[in-house]
Amino acid sequence: MNMEFTEGDVLLLVDIQNDFCPGGNLPIEKGDEIIPFLNPIIKKASAVGIPVFLSRDFHPRLHPSFKENGGKWPVHCIQDTEGARFHPDLNIPDNAEIVSKGTRFDKDQYSAFDDTGLGDLFKKLKIKRVFVAGLALDVCVKETAVDSVKLGFKTYVLKQGTRPVSKRSGEQALNQMKELGIEII
């Protein structure tokens, strides 16, 4: 993929954490394969001063998304555990900004924009275009991209930089996003 960053762009990497990669507690098939694709893009963004934001799923033990607390997911991304750490192969710039989500006791937050203040910050930073990648395509990447376009940002999803929980819902997610004007590149 040959993309050029310009002023007003941001790279938003969603939940590239150990628990979402093979060997983790909520593993996404080949989730780690996005990393060698994304590292050069991160490098390119940093080199030209494009901000890099990384969201992380960062749950307390009593989080409502866990089966044992009435939710649908296995326990994952518990705050300050190995599973919640970013994958060690991901090259994170020193000045990357971290967005923690999924920290609330009353609801889950799939989207990095959901009650994090990120949308207002992007407006303050005069962000025009948001480039989204990460895990999982059909869950947090989709919800993040949908919020992004609804907030008025031109929104792109890097197809090779994401993987779905399931192939079928991954295809559905891509179609839904396209219908909302999100560009899949």
Contacts of 97 (CB under 8 A, 6+ apart): 51, 52, 53, 54
**Shortest distance, CB of residue 61 to Zn ion, whole angstroms?**
13
CB of 37 closer than 8 Å to CB of 160: yes
Determine whether 21 is an active site residue: no
First to last CA, the chain: 8
CB of 57 or CB of 147, closer to Zn ion: 57
**Shortest distance, CB of residue 3 to ligand VGL, whole angstroms?**
23
Determine whether 15 is an active site residue: yes
- Residue for token digits 């002023």? 7
**Shortest distance, CB of residue 90 to Zn ion, whole angstroms?**
18
Closest CA to 52 of 87, 3, 95: 95
User: Considering 9, 57, 140, 147, which one is annotated as catalytic?
Assistant: 140
**Shortest distance, CB of residue 58 to ligand VGL, whole angstroms?**
10
CA distance 120 to 150: 13
User: Considering 19, 77, 101, 147, which one is annotated as catalytic?
Assistant: 101
* Interacting partner of 131 out of Zn ion, ligand VGL, none (Cβ under 5 to 8 A depending on kind): none
Task: Please list every residue from 14 through 33 that binds ligand VGL, using CB under 6 A.
Answer: 15
CA distance 154 to 168: 26
Q: Does the protein bind Zn ion through residue 32 (CB under 5 A)?
A: no
Q: Does the protein bind ligand VGL through residue 136 (CB under 6 A)?
A: yes
Closest CA to 94 of 133, 54, 126, 122: 54
Among 9, 19, 32, 57, binds Zn ion (CB under 5 A): 57
In the complex, which residues of this chain contact ligand VGL (CB under 6 A)? 15, 57, 65, 73, 135-136, 139-140
